[in-house]
Structure 1
Amino acid sequence: MLGLAAAGVLVALVAADRADVPAAARALRDAHPVWLSAGAAALLVWWAAWVLLHATSRQAAGISGGAAELARLVPLALGAVAVNSAVKSGGLAGVALFDGDGRARSLSRGRVHAGYLLALAFTEVAFLVTLALGVVLARWNGQLTRGESAAVAVFLVFLVVRGAALVAAVRSREALRRTWSVPARLWDRVRRRPARDHDVAAADEFYAAVALLRSRPAAAVVPLVAAVAVDFAGVAMVWTAIGAVGGGSRPGTALIAYAVSAVFGIVGVLPGGLGFAEVGVVAVLVSAGTPTGVAAAAAVVFRVWEFWVPLLVGAPLAWWSRRAQPVDAS
């Protein structure tokens, strides 16, 4: 499955110029084992950062726990990464795993949701920093085309508006309650149900968690660092992918490629940004002077680490996590 998917992406990326297919195939065949090992290490760091992010975000939301709690979070966090990759949900699909685990352990549903949403908020802040660094570096080096610049600018506006709405909401409990219940109210309209009150306990818990962070800003440091580590481990995966297929050691280009591919993947219509993220990597590498075949090979290696391996590892963990929960908690 992995090989067929990677081959399909490779063919799609170089279909416009078939002469590059043999070059891409050779680059993959001759991939340097040292660089590949470094990429595998970056993937392990990426996974660990995700687990740490969820653990510290849950602590900020009032769910305490030591080493046992951290170990319990490993399949949940890795499973959530896989679920969020397989489903186009803005990162919200993974909360189902945490929700089921919380109900099985009689944890506050609001605190569980608050911890997950805090982790999601930290990832957006961290990516905004990473994207800004990538855009500045790309513009400085002239590696960003006008089309890519326009796409990034639109996405930045979206992030800023979304962040401003969130900040406005968490400053007022009532505003957050209204924002929180918007999806349920819209669903009621679609189903032509009469107006009714909706459960806002989770919104209140999230508001309390954010209020705690405002009173103790230091509690946000570790989860924010973990979120930044997720992105920088992703950059390292691009960097090592480029090196593995003979593209040289180019950390700056890797940062730009990671940022652009993430934006393309987010705005893409397919789950996990399939096709779109790969095109983002290739576009940046080619604009930096990398041969198309080598750029396509680097994109395939990067996506194997960043998408396919996490999906193939996390999907069974997500299934196991759900199976391990009592039937009445599912």
Structure 2
Amino acid sequence: MAAVSFQSVTKTYSTPQGPFRALDAVSLGIEEGEFFGLLGPNGAGKTTLISILAGLARATSGRVLVQGADVQSDYANARRKLGVVPQELVFDPFFSVREALRFQSGYFGVEHNDAWIDELLHSLGLADKAQANMRQLSGGMKRRVLVAQALVHKPPIIVLDEPTAGVDVELRQTLWQFIAKLNKQGHTVLLTTHYLEEAEALCSRIAMLQRGHVVALDRTSNLLKSASGNVLVFKTDAPLPAALAPLARVTGRVVQMVAQDVQEVEHFLAQLRQAGVEVQDIEIRRADLEDVFLKVMAGNAPADWEAKVPSFPRPAEAAA
């Protein structure tokens, strides 16, 4: 039995422009003890899928099972098996860190949980903040508390929705060491992230979503094997020749160009020399998960896709 099973999950929203299908018959399974990555650009449907899994949204059609428990018909049992770390920083400003974790334990009927709470505080670097009021914490510390709240009832399945967005390097390292430890102990982990180097390092299997569809699903090692070739990387302040510009991925001064072999690398460099483009810090690296991701997305996404994704107000905005 799969830890999580998405079975032909479809979600359609009503918008002023007409129905918008955020998910279209998504089917995939996550095995027990697996570290699974769910990747996709903004608006691809990742958070919608997780919201349906967590019971925060209801699928228009299809089923989601958590260790055999249906998230709609057997929601209490399904939710006890999940620990979800959301994207947004949500906290009660009147509680200390320890009080927040005790209350979270109570929501799941867990009593006398202080030993595990102490371990969470220590493992996530929160031990010295245990008595601090949640309002006094920095954004990074609040995110650590969100992780602790998701884990306080010892769920067998951990769902991390962009857990390291906007946080410092120390938190990333602390978090991944702890989550990797839990995964080795048998916990199933579902991760969404825009940091593809994290997904490449941590996830044994990856699904890629685009326009509400699964466009790639395979072991991470197999996806990387599909990215044959090398990547030429260099820095320059000059514009690229017209013939090379469409082939390049430019981030500030850094230019990356996929090359199938050494002869193509030499060809690119010769064209740069002929155009008088001065380059610095030249290196050649193997293609990575980011290269695979961009290739898959380019083959499946229309140029105007983001413009078609409706903007839904947050609860606070809707209330205003």
TM-score clears 0.5: no
Structure (1/2) with the larger strand percentage? 2
TM-score of the two chains, using structure 2 as the length reference? 0.29
> Using CA pairs below 8 Å that are at least 6 residues apart, which structure has the higher relative contact order?
1
TM-score, length basis structure 1: 0.29
